[in-house]
Structure 1
Amino acid sequence: MLIRSTAALLLTAGTALAQQTDITIGMVLEPPNLDPTGGAAAAIDEVVYANVFEGLTRFGPDGAILPALATGWEVSEDGTVWTFTLQEGVTFHDGTAMDAEDVVFSLDRARAEDSTNAQKALFEQIESVEAVDPATVRITLSAPVGNLPFNLAWGDAVIVAPESADTNATDPVGTGPFTFATWVQGDRVELVRNPDYWGEAPALEQATFKFIADPNAAFSALMAGDVDAFPNFPAPETLSAFEGDPRFEVIVGSTEGETILAMNNQTLSDPLVREAISHAIDREAIIDGAMFGYGTPIGTHFAPHNPDYVDLTAKSAFDPERARDLLAEAGATDLTLRLMLPPPSYARRGGEIIASQLREVGIATEIQNLEWAQWLEQVFRGKDFDLTIVSHTEPADINIYARPDYYFQYDNPAFQALMDELAVTTNAEQRSALLRQAQETIAEDYVNAYLFQLAKTGVANAAIEGLWENSPTQANDLTAVRWTE
């Protein structure tokens, strides 16, 4: 009996030792760089958020705001002074200590006049950041910001070190549970477990992010076992093949991704033309044809799972006759628009469908397929486009419509005042009312044509647990991922 028990223990130990500790994650887009404080591409956070870089706070898998490098915080009665207590004994991956001075550096850098941070607006209300002592940071605001912990949870607000900040784009140095190992451009990024991590060590020892833009290649890579999981799988038409295969688990959830037909409000300055384009779009046909039924129609830039969401789809309902009448009223005849499409399948497939729908009401399109770096340079930064299709995966980002220099160039002082009021409002009911008004304003101005909320359709090896079902932010958080067999 003793011999059999000992053998069983040895067998159990052997099984545990043999358990897989590396993972290969598939991604559609390769990040243009690896610094989340210096780029707008979602693919950056998909690699480094919570894995390499951490902020004072972070998003949990359910969207809750959790402590990260801060253990907790207090706020003054007037809501303008926030005091954060930091984790102690934290080091950056290069061995330098992380303390309050690094927080001051990071937030001052993010909000500086010459900052390249893509979400600089998150830090607008910060008046000063002070290191009270090595483990305490005081943030003073020019006006109350009730959701400051939410703002600080974004990837754009991670804490970086002055010694390595300038090279994070190609050699990222953070405080997270994984350290950067290598980047084979055009192919993969590799991370390894951080042996000096301040928190709970992850189960994985190594993670590889493999970039596979082609949907057919993504399907083949999963089937062959070359990729262990594809959290944002680009070929929803093949999901049924995985659902019937016990080797895999299909994970369908929601995202913060408002998928829009974005319009350049400078070249398309006539609201009648923008309204006509919106009425020419059949959302259900796009969801069925491009996403194979995965997606929720939206009529404004807000996630349907948000409690403050207003269903405004009727305001821009599919009505080709109305679209033709509006174009005639605007005197917009023989209209030809440039439709710039980035690589994701929702854009390429959806773009072909939208081009056909616009043609039915008398609008011709010139489709240009762009690589991701081209799209960022020409459309996002250069604003050289008429129409484009993109999913905005940043959480609760309706405030982008208050930025006249944002890529779709919507300039409405009344909306900007609305966002200013929202920024200093802490009462929940008042905030809800302002958010509803904001949704209605951009829908009534037909700033963009709102298509659908991007579903999170993932596929993973059935032995993997801990991957996020939903995407409260753009991340492939590996901190709780493990193999079960």
Structure 2
Amino acid sequence: MRQPSVRARRVAAASLTLAVVTAGAAACGPKDNGAGGAGGGSTPHKGGTLTVLNSQPQQDFDPARLYTSGGGNVPSLVFRTLTTRNRENGAAGAKVVPDLATDTGRPSENATVWTYTLKKGLTYEDGTPITSADIKYGIERSFAPELSGGAPYLRDWLAGAADYQGPYKDKKGLSAIETPNARTVVFHLNKPEGEFPYLATQTQFAPVPKAKDTGTKYEEHPVASGPYKVVRNQNDGERLLLERNTHWSADDERKAYPDRIDVRSGLDSSVINQRLSASQGADAAAVTTDTNLGPAELARVSGDRNLAARVGTGHFGYTNYLAFNPKVKPFDDARVRQAISYAIDRSSVVNAAGGSALAEPATTFLPDQKSFGHTPYDLFPAGASGDAAKARELLKEAGHPNGLTITLTHSNSKDFETSPEIATAVQDALKKAGITVRLQGLEDNDYKDKIHDAAREPGFFLAHWGADWPSGGPFLAPIFDGRQIVKDGANFNTGLLNDPSVNKEIDAINKLTDLDAAAKRWGALDRKIGARAVVVPLFHPVYKRLYGKDVRNVVISDWTGVLDVSQVSVK
């Protein structure tokens, strides 16, 4: 939110609520200019039913359990949070803005205390007022073991929260959260966190009235603070029917044009694209937030002018890469890792990922977006097709004049990011440099278990990472902060890097509340880490999604990379 395959631990980006994008968004103009958007030229209007066709069910529809960023997509229709994402196209949509709060938060001098004031007149779906105590309670219940699944940051960031077990077991609550009055909430942190306004977009910051809390059954009818309320939740989110919340305190971000939103999930991706393509009946007013067009489908759509006009393009902060374990020979030698970096043929990798329309070659770990602090660099320049001669030269220096044989671990899943096709493209490229690559394909669960176990991590494997919010922090820290190496659980520091200078710089950037200044520092740190050659960036995915012919006001931000259902209107 976004490594999608392990989103319960960190990220942010693609299989649950994610489906996990820059200026390439084929969308409309600014959110307030009345533009009809890519779906047509008519002015957006209220009314009608929007259908959402998804492959993944909207499971665990409880703000404590949802792993979403920016207030989520479908979740943000029901749950408002202290802050949210800016609902605009491209880079403008990567900014954090106030939601329930009057601003994005007021930090203390060292960013260890954050204070928020709620807007006046906020109400739930039943007309009762939203208070700061409800924000506090909503966060506290997210610590309950039976409501696990949300983002892990609060347990790490809030002072004294590491062992808290939620309000069902501990009636005292979290002393780190103070509510001096009904409109003020104060957070006390363990250490400086300049990006707390981003964290406050997570659904754990949605208010929950204690009197209406039904524990694990709350997901069946959570109390809405957003423009829609849940009127039906079938089979744990397989079908979610939302209707207008007449007590919604209209905000500046959500347009909420349709009267109803019908979320239908558990569908095969090919069926979703067929229905959106045909655009018949209710499907004419339908969208998807988690199903891409594949290469063959995209080729067909691109050849049809009418269909091509109904494709939204998005970019999410996401990188696919080759990972090294420097504790495993021969990858303990930086020259071997550098040789592989030079030998990579990114054009063949991009082709294996579906072609240039669906993947962009990457030489930096940070995605090519301003909010991340992207700083262009290519420390091992190999052109589009690799530099086999330079790779052989480095291998000779490393004591391998006749080349070497290594094993590349990947998933056998159809997920193109770690698929056999990507692995084969890497294998073919390295062969030109005298490197024989044996492919070790594992079933997806075995693959995930192995690459995220610090004790069993292979020496060379395919990996990917997505950010929980558009900043370098949740992108670089989980992968390169040595203090985040987990020896007895899910580990994401794939290179097992523990460089004191890197750790120190991460701490220094985290103290900054000027997010533009922080972004520049993240970009510089990315380059510094890149010189260590513990990863080889391969590509950043591009998302292409169809929508129905009666859909208007398409907005796709760089925060989520998907069509924003809070902005859509239907004909």
Q: Which residue number corresponds to residue 225 of structure 2?
A: 175
Instruction: Kindly indicate whether residue 281 of structure 2 is the aligned counterpart of residue 281 of structure 1.
Output: no
Q: Which residue number corresponds to residue 339 of structure 1?
A: 410
Q: AA paired with 1:399?
A: A
Q: Which residue number corresponds to residue 311 of structure 2?
A: 250
Task: Find 1:311's aligned residue among 371, 376, 384.
Answer: 376
Q: AA paired with 1:363?
A: V
Structure 2: how far apart are the matches of 1:266 and 1:161?
Answer: 50
Q: AA paired with 1:259?
A: N
Whether the aligned pair in 1 keeps the contact of 2:132 and 2:184 (CA below 8 Å) is yes
Q: 1:376, CA displacement in angstroms?
A: 6.0
Name the SS for the 1:390 alignment partner. strand
Q: AA paired with 2:77?
A: N
Instruction: Kindly indicate whether residue 425 of structure 2 is the aligned counterpart of residue 353 of structure 1.
Output: yes
Q: Which residue number corresponds to residue 191 of structure 1?
A: 241
How large is the RMSD of aligned CA atoms in angstroms?
4.1
Show CA shifts across 1:212-235 (max 9, x none). 565x44432322337532355231
Alignment of 1:117-128 (within 5 A): 119-121=151-153, 124-127=156-159, 128=176
Structure 2: how far apart are the matches of 1:71 and 1:88?
Answer: 9
Q: Which residue number corresponds to residue 221 of structure 1?
A: 275
Structure 2: how far apart are the matches of 1:466 and 1:133?
Answer: 39
Name the SS for the 1:440 alignment partner. helix
Whether the aligned pair in 2 keeps the contact of 1:464 and 1:481 (CA below 8 Å) is yes
Q: 1:338, CA displacement in angstroms?
A: 2.1
Distance 1:298 1:70, change over 3 A: same
Whether the aligned pair in 1 keeps the contact of 2:57 and 2:239 (CA below 8 Å) is no
Name the SS for the 1:467 alignment partner. coil
Show CA shifts across 1:313-341 (max 9, x none). 34363333444555662779432232125
Whether the aligned pair in 2 keeps the contact of 1:280 and 1:358 (CA below 8 Å) is yes
Show CA shifts across 1:78-104 (max 9, x none). 254432122455566799864212322
Whether the aligned pair in 2 keeps the contact of 1:262 and 1:449 (CA below 8 Å) is yes
Q: 1:131, CA displacement in angstroms?
A: 0.7
Q: 1:447, CA displacement in angstroms?
A: 2.9
Name the SS for the 2:560 alignment partner. coil
Show CA shifts across 1:426-470 (max 9, x none). 456753452133201321222322122222322212321233323
Structure 1 unaligned regions, length at least 5: 1-15
Q: Kindly indicate whether structure 1 or structure 2 has the higher relative contact order, using CA contacts under 8 Å at least 6 residues apart.
A: 2
Task: Find 1:291's aligned residue among 351, 354, 358.
Answer: 354
Structure 2: how far apart are the matches of 1:274 and 1:183?
Answer: 50
Structure 1: how far apart are the matches of 2:62 and 2:393?
Answer: 47
Name the SS for the 2:315 alignment partner. strand
Q: 1:130, CA displacement in angstroms?
A: 0.6
Q: AA paired with 2:200?
A: L
How many equivalent residue pairs?
Answer: 463
Show CA shifts across 1:140-174 (max 9, x none). 34555433222312456545566256456787665
Distance 1:367 1:203, change over 3 A: same
Q: AA paired with 2:306?
A: P
Whether the aligned pair in 2 keeps the contact of 1:258 and 1:453 (CA below 8 Å) is yes
Q: 1:48, CA displacement in angstroms?
A: 3.9
Q: Which residue number corresponds to residue 256 of structure 2?
A: 202
Q: AA paired with 1:193?
A: E
Task: Find 2:565's aligned residue among 478, 481, 485.
Answer: 478
Distance 1:338 1:174, change over 3 A: farther
Name the SS for the 1:461 alignment partner. coil
Alignment of 1:19-30 (within 5 A): 20-27=48-55, 29=56
Structure 2: how far apart are the matches of 1:17 and 1:423?
Answer: 42
Alignment of 1:294-443 (within 5 A): 294=357, 295-306=359-370, 308-315=373-380, 317=382, 318-324=386-392, 326=394, 329=398, 333-340=404-411, 342-348=413-419, 349-358=421-430, 360=432, 361-370=435-444, 379=451, 386=458, 387-394=461-468, 395-396=470-471, 397=474, 398-400=476-478, 401-402=480-481, 403-405=484-486, 406-409=491-494, 410-412=496-498, 413-426=500-513, 431-443=518-530
Q: 1:129, CA displacement in angstroms?
A: 1.7
Distance 1:342 1:198, change over 3 A: farther
Q: 1:67, CA displacement in angstroms?
A: 1.6
Q: Which residue number corresponds to residue 82 of structure 2?
A: 56
Distance 1:242 1:447, change over 3 A: same
Instruction: Kindly indicate whether residue 332 of structure 2 is the aligned counterpart of residue 270 of structure 1.
Output: yes
Structure 2 unaligned regions, length at least 5: 1-43, 88-92, 160-175
Distance 1:474 1:106, change over 3 A: farther
Q: AA paired with 1:404?
A: I
Q: AA paired with 2:535?
A: N
Distance 1:265 1:174, change over 3 A: farther
Higher strand share: 1
Whether the aligned pair in 2 keeps the contact of 1:39 and 1:118 (CA below 8 Å) is yes
Distance 1:306 1:18, change over 3 A: closer
Q: Which residue number corresponds to residue 109 of structure 2?
A: 78
Q: AA paired with 2:485?
A: P
Name the SS for the 1:452 alignment partner. strand
Structure 1: how far apart are the matches of 2:448 and 2:337?
Answer: 23
Distance 1:164 1:236, change over 3 A: farther
Give the alignment's TM-score, normalised by structure 1. Answer: 0.78
Name the SS for the 2:115 alignment partner. strand
